[in-house]
A and B are shown apart, each in its own frame.
Chain A
Amino acid sequence: MEQHEREHILVRPEDYDKNFSTLNLGPTHPATHGIFQNILTMNGETIVDTEQTIGYIHRAFEKLAERRAFYQITTLTDRMNYCSSPINNIGWQTTVEKLIGVETNKRIDYMRIIIMELARISDHLICNSVIGVDSGALTGFVYVFQEREKIYEIYEEICGARLTTNLGRIGGFERDFTPSVIQKIRDFIDHLPKVIRQFESLLLRNRIFMDRTINVGGISAERALNYGFTGPCLRAAGVDYDVRVMKPYSSYSDFDFTIPIGTQGDTYDRFCVRQEEIWQSIKLVKNALENLPEGNFHMDVPEFYLPDKEDVYSKMESLIWHFKIVMGEVNIPVGEVYHSVEGGNGELGFYLVSDGGRTPYRLHFRRPCFVYYQAFPEMVRGSFLSDAILTMSSMNVIAGELDA
């Protein structure tokens, strides 16, 4: 291997006399589904090597977080993986609860599980249907988009927002599930299996789809671990690592569910793993909704949870807390925590260092996309351009999560 004129582009000696062309895939390209760039060195239709440029929507969340009160950081986390923002929100809230030592009751935990699993369903629905789109089957995408719309309606009913949800609060929820929310979730969960079965009948055993995805963009379990893969991409390679099981949070240990794994780590396996995870999520939502315990929808955390508006107007203490929280004048205990949740793409980690001030001293987000997207050159070297596009969409690279 010798160095190409652009560094770290490897060219084999027997290819020296060939004319390579450079192809810019992105930053704004329909196939990247977000703003990031791939500079491909092509030999005809075959990819010799690729180099990624990222950072186009970098918004300096880690720096911003150093000047913000904890409740204001929830809105930053929304904008990371915007296909499943409630998971990010709840991940951040549980991190803070771990730092300040709040144990939430079962009702809050189960409510959180319902929302996080709905978010996972919407994340996987988008990703899997987009694999279909990129391989030329637009129909499935249209089928499941309506279901995503229903999930967004559920978010809307719970918190008023659809995409960047800012859902939940430190210590629980801003309000309880109304009967209408419960009804909407129930209707959705009853209806969804039919749609998923329809969607699967379109793609899962479709000859063209299988030919396009099997043995495309594969990675071995060993390389995947070395590259820090997590989530469906790691499980497709055959490693059964799931944060919900390995480090259970929010009472996931109360539930019985299966972690699907693949064998080849290729695009088809990633598709199948996500598809099975949707089925598992449906089961989880159903179980959590059936067994939703009675209890309060928030814990007693006066330093972080806003008091009732009525109390603010009538009780001195509530007024003081309200003021302190809104103005960000709550002192945070000294400490250092790493907490992670299973996001749509894998282990979403929060490393929070507090020095006793009013804002985090340092907050680092471990974004699963950012970690595993660096394996992309290794996964597509030697394959066709059209396969690289399928590999990229099956990795579910979300630009917001990539750049933070």
Chain B
Amino acid sequence: MLDLQGLTQAVGDLDEEQVVIMLEKFVSSNPSGEEAYKVVGACQQGMAIVGELFEKNEYFVGDLIFAGELLTQAIDILKPVLGGEESQKVGKIVIGTVEGDLHDIGKNIFGSMIEAAGFEVYDLGIDVAPGVFVEKVKEVQPQIVGMSGVLTLALDAMKSTVDALKEAGVRDGVKIIIGGNPVTEEACRQIGSDVFTTNAAEGVKICQEWVK
């Protein structure tokens, strides 16, 4: 079995070469789906390290983006051995950067992490109008809606989106998570979201709890 701690560290170090070597070796050993999911978990823990190093100012935004790419690459390598279980998604989530805001780095990183956690992800992109969230929720009936934003005005847009979901009668059918720089506990309450987070790894954990 692969050295999971070593893999976590290699992802945390953004050591692409090492990650690829370890994963390719692992895949060639014909592992079970269960083992493969443990490896996905180790990669995710590596992403948490990346987040911590960013917090400590050791990593730059470019490193975060690279980490997102690295995770996507890791999942691609693992796909053949995730096998049938891969198609059994643990849940559906609709995500997007809210109307008026174009920032999507954090949302994209969360998107790759939540996808790696086995969710079916519907990413609506940036500057997403409330009505677009509503339509997608009606169409795919996710368990979770994730809204992201960096500008303070994003909070207004998040509130409008929650209101639109309420008006459409679909608010109670979903859990809502908001993320991004301006979100706070107070804002979360006023917006009518279920939770808030400024940490992608933490957000993934919350979503996993919700669909357990």
The answer to whether A and B assemble together is: no
Interface residues of B (CB under 8 A from A): none
